[in-house]
Structure formats: C-alpha cells, structure tokens
Amino acid sequence: MSTLEIKDLHAQIETENGPKEILKGVSLTINSGEIHAIMGPNGSGKSTLASTIAGHPAYEVTSGSITLDGEDVLEMEVDERARAGLFLAMQYPVEVPGVTMTNFLRTAKTAIDGEAPKLRTWTKEVREAMEKLKIDAEFANRNVNEGFSGGEKKRVEILQMELFKPKVAVLDETDSGLDIDALRVVSEGVNRAHEANGMGTLLITHYTRILNYIKPDVVHVFVDGQVAEQGGPELADELEADGYDRFLNAVRA
C-alpha cells in the first residue's frame, strides 16, 4: 500500500514581470489502486502540477509538501523520484536521439530497480507489452520518440509505465490527440497496470472522453491553481453537461 500526498502546495514560475504563482494551495491524496481524475480548463495549472510533481526546475515550490509513503518527494532529484516509484508522463514527451527503444527501456528499468532485469524474461515482457499496446515490433529498434506520431508517443509512454511498474503514475493529457482506437488501447494499458500492480493513478485531462474507458474513483475539478471541488465519477458527468462555468464563476466571485 502506497500513498502520494500533496498538501497545500504552492508553486510559482519566474516571468519577466517577476514571480507568478500558479499553484495556489493544492491538496490531494492518492492511495494504491485508486484512480483520480483532475479535470480543469486550459491554463488552470494542471500541467504545472504534473511538472512540479516531476521536479521540473522551472517551477519553484514556495510552500506545502509532496510525500510518497512519507518520503519528501520535493527533496528528491528527478531520477530519485522514478526510483521511489513515481511515473510522470509528460504532455510533450521528449525525443532521445541515438538511443533505441530497446536500450532506453532496459537502461531505465535497470536504473529504477537498481539491478538489470534478466534478459530472457525481460525481452519477452517487452515484446508482450508491445503487442498488447499494438506497437509494431520494429519500434524496438527505433530511436526514442524520433519521428513518432502523437499516438505512437502515447503508446510508448504507456509501454514504459507498464514495464516500470510504478507505485503512482501521473498522466498529463494522455488522451489528447488520440483517435478512438489509440484511446482504447492506451486506456486498457492504464487499467492493466492498475489491476496488475495496484498502481495509483493521477489522470489529468481536459475532456471527459477518456473517462468512458478509465473509471475514476475520485474526480477533482481544478480551477485557477486549486482543487475547486472533489467528488465521485458523477462530477465528470456534470462537467460534460455543464462545462466549467459554475466553477470559474465561483473562483471569480
């Protein structure tokens, strides 16, 4: 049983006009096996939250805390966060020139686990995971994300998540730009990791569409750098029907 706990988190970025606070007191707790959806309008700070959890240097935490099983995540370097069991899928995955998928996956897995996976079982595991995610076998020899389409990058992201077996995954707009088939394949990957490893998931999304495939336990409405409301899956249905206006008006009032 693992817990990612975010408490009254405030974070800012440096702009030409001085510091700008983007996260204004975010609190949420994700336990193993739970799926939390964060939904909010564009510019509300969702990606900033993901980047702050990931340890992106542009975002300065001014107060509050993030802990994983009581360990201070904010004190950890980016690679330590992965070793501690966090998986952060970014909205804009990076290319890694000159490194094949096969080498990248094995190197990353070794770094995360602290030992190299046994080659025979690992090769089989990678192959099977790729098949389930409908990633063509030739991708194993291609350079990471180089020339991958948006949908291919998302599948590869989920491939990493399934292979690395994190305690908690943060998925930022994994659904954006996916056609319906890719959306289903990617969602199945998240559900598999959830069921097989009891992974806790923070699913950040702008649209409710992905929630037809991944059933959240908790829905957080995120507005102006804060959780404006928390509820069950029915909250997502309400957003689908009414949009974010009610929550935006409450913030502006």
Q: How far is the CB of 173 from Mg ion (least distance, A)?
A: 6
Shorter beta-carbon distance to Mg ion: residue 46 or 167: 46
Place of tokens 């959240």: 216
Chain residues 23-42 in contact with Mg ion, contact rule CB under 5 A: 25
Q: Where are the alpha helices (DSSP H) in the chain?
A: 46-54, 78-84, 101-113, 119-132, 150-164, 180-197, 234-242, 245-252
Per DSSP, the residues of 44-95 read SSHHHHHHHHHT-TT-EEEEEEEEETTEEGGGS-HHHHHHHTEEEE-SSPPP
Among 47, 160, 187, 226, binds Mg ion (CB under 5 A): 47
Q: Binding segment for ligand ADP among 37-45, 99-107, 127-135, 243-251 (CB under 6 A)?
A: 37-45
b/e burial code for range 214-236 (CB count within 10 A of at least 16 → b): bebebbbbbbbbbbbeeeebebb
Closest CA to 88 of 99, 76, 79, 98: 79
Q: Which of the listed partners (ligand ADP, Mg ion, none) does 194 bind, with a CB threshold of 5 to 8 Å by partner kind?
A: none
Q: Which of the listed partners (Mg ion, ligand ADP, none) does 25 bind, with a CB threshold of 5 to 8 Å by partner kind?
A: Mg ion
Angle between helices 119-132 and 101-113 (to 10 degrees): 120
Q: Which of the listed partners (ligand ADP, Mg ion, none) does 15 bind, with a CB threshold of 5 to 8 Å by partner kind?
A: ligand ADP
CA 202 to CA 194: how far, in whole Å?
11
Structure tokens of 108?
A: 């990353």
- Decide: is 40 part of the binding site for ligand ADP (CB under 6 A): yes
- Decide: is 150 part of the binding site for Mg ion (CB under 5 A): no
Among 2, 12, 47, 145, binds ligand ADP (CB under 6 A): 47
Q: Binding segment for ligand ADP among 27-35, 42-50, 94-102, 144-152 (CB under 6 A)?
A: 42-50
Shorter beta-carbon distance to ligand ADP: residue 42 or 121: 42
- Decide: is 121 part of the binding site for ligand ADP (CB under 6 A): no
Three-state secondary structure call for residue 124: helix
Site of interaction with ligand ADP (CB under 6 A): 13, 15, 22, 40, 42-48, 58
Site of interaction with Mg ion (CB under 5 A): 8, 25, 46-47
